[in-house]
Amino acid sequence: MQPVQAPFPAGRFRRARARPATRALTRETVLTVEDLIWPVFLRDGEGIEEEIPSMPGVHRLSVDKVVEAARRAADLGIPAICLFPYTDPAKKTKDCAEAWNPDNLSNTATRAIKDAVPGIAVMTDVALDPYNIDGHDGFVNAADGTVLNDATVEALVKQALSQAEAGADIIGPSDMMDGRIGALRDALEEAGHHDVMLLSYAAKYASAFYGPFRDAVGASGALKGDKKTYQMDPANTDEALRLVARDLAEGADAVMVKPGMPYLDICRRAKDAFGAPTYAYQVSGEYAMLEGAARQGWLDGDRVMLESLLAFKRAGCDGILTYFAPRAAEALARR
Ligand SMILES: NCc1[nH]cc(CCC(=O)O)c1CC(=O)O
């Protein structure tokens, strides 16, 4: 692009900004409800909505309540809901077998939502951390504490197949093991799940912004050490492009950058380089930051919410996973 601008006073940028109508006509990006994926937390029980202290306004929901939430989301026009289970600590083991139990919380909720609200897409999470006694996304080698790659990928395949079987529309591997996209794609094709989408957490950074999420899924206490041997170094950007290229080549239908706001440069580069459907995850710490300040009266909550989400569209994203999804949908409907 080669912008040409008349010199002042022939050229006045303020003309286009002078009235709502011409601001609307010259607007380059829009945020709509169809850009939103709503991550929700599950827990067992019935009739339960349990607030997460580090994420005010966000709750762990029992299956009946998540069905209600899915109905509300569908009524608002939100295309997809993404499930994250809080697993009863008694069900966490070294072998993480609960991850591929056909009747685990995530699979039970998927079936219940697809049954009651078939129009909303259900996205599920592939990673072992909610089920792992060690709190890591993969198996931990007892001898030296390292996180095992290839053995973990075999488990992730079992987990993803159980999710596809339960009716998941979109499977989101958030584990950052190498080779998992190819393995998952082969297994899904072989099992006849030809239309299940893989949305790869391709560029997922070892970030401090995940703190409140780990509280929400009950992984904070369990986690020993950090995730730096599998999640990316926040200093890297070329590596993100290599990972996106790798995951697309292995059969990902779409890719994600995570966290969101501090990584908009990665979103833009990934979209420009590959043109694939590209998503960002506005993670728990970003939510806590904005919502915390809004509740203190330090920021205008609705305005910063919508401005932060629009920024993802400007950076080239096709959509955003955000805990604000229903509130953003309501705010957009009011405009
Ligand atoms: N598989 C783990 C996972 N999946 C989604 C998130 C973070 C989401 C958020 O912070 O909102 C994490 C946390 C982590 O990697 O420790």
How many whole angstroms from 14 Cα to the centroid of ligand 1? 43
Say which residue the tokens 């069900």 belong to.
91
Ligand 1 atom nearest to CA at 137: 1
Q: What is the predicted pLDDT for the residue at 217?
A: 86
Q: What is the predicted pLDDT for the residue at 218?
A: 81
Closest CA to 319 of 184, 121, 136: 121
Residue 172 inside a domain? The answer is yes
Q: What is the predicted pLDDT for the residue at 220?
A: 75
Residue closest via CA to ligand 1's atom 4 equals 174
Residue closest via CA to ligand 1's atom 14 equals 210
What φ, ψ does residue 92 adopt, rounded to 5°?
Answer: -85, 130
Residue closest via CA to ligand 1's atom 7 equals 210
C-alpha distance across the termini of the chain, in Å? 32
CA-to-CA separations, 116 to 39, 45, 156, in angstroms, rounded: 18, 18, 27
CA atoms within 13 A on the CB side of 6: 7
Residue 243 inside a domain? The answer is yes
- Residue 171 forms beta bridges with which residues? 124, 198
Residue 19 inside a domain? The answer is no
Q: What is the predicted pLDDT for the residue at 18?
A: 98
pTM, two decimals, is 0.97
For residues 153 and 155, what is the distance between their CA atoms, to the nearest angstrom?
A: 5
Q: What is the predicted pLDDT for the residue at 247?
A: 98
Structural tokens at position 133 = 């006694």
For residues 82 and 67, what is the distance between their CA atoms, to the nearest angstrom?
A: 12
Residue 231 inside a domain? The answer is yes
Domain hosting 120: range is 29-334
For residues 179 and 153, what is the distance between their CA atoms, to the nearest angstrom?
A: 7
DSSP string, 96-151: -GGGG-TTSHHHHHHHHHHHH-TTSEEEEEE-STTTBTT--SSPBPTTT-PBPSHH
Query: What residue ranges line ligand 1, CB within 6 angstroms?
Result: 125, 127, 129, 137, 174-175, 210, 213-214, 227, 283-284
Residue 7 inside a domain? The answer is no
Ligand 1 atom nearest to CA at 284: 11
Which one from 91, 204, 271, 313 is the annotated catalytic residue?
Answer: 204
DSSP string, 180-209: HHHHHHHHHHHTT-TT-EEEEEEEEB--GG
Q: What is the predicted pLDDT for the residue at 219?
A: 76
Weakly modelled stretches of the chain, pLDDT under 70? none
Residue 45 inside a domain? The answer is yes
CATH number at residue 293: 3.20.20.70
For residues 233 and 217, what is the distance between their CA atoms, to the nearest angstrom?
A: 23
DSSP 232: B
How many whole angstroms from 258 Cα to the centroid of ligand 1? 9
How many whole angstroms from 48 Cα to the centroid of ligand 1? 23
Residue 2 inside a domain? The answer is no
Contact criterion met (CB below 8 Å) for 256 and 201? yes
Q: What is the predicted pLDDT for the residue at 81?
A: 98
Q: What is the predicted pLDDT for the residue at 147?
A: 97
DSSP string, 158-178: HHHHHHHHHT-SEEEE-S--T
DSSP 218: T
Active site residue 258: yes
SS3 state of residue 27: coil
Ligand 1 atom nearest to CA at 231: 15
Residue 110 inside a domain? The answer is yes
How many whole angstroms from 4 Cα to the centroid of ligand 1? 44
CA-to-CA separations, 142 to 134, 136, 155, 218, 222, in angstroms, rounded: 10, 13, 17, 22, 15
For residues 217 and 304, what is the distance between their CA atoms, to the nearest angstrom?
A: 26
Residue to substitute in 84, 283, 320, 323 for testing ligand 1 pocket (most ligand atoms within 8 angstroms of CB): 283
How many whole angstroms from 214 Cα to the centroid of ligand 1? 7
How many whole angstroms from 24 Cα to the centroid of ligand 1? 37
CB count within 10 Å of CB 204 equals: 27
Residue closest via CA to ligand 1's atom 13 equals 210
- In the chain, how many domains are there? 1
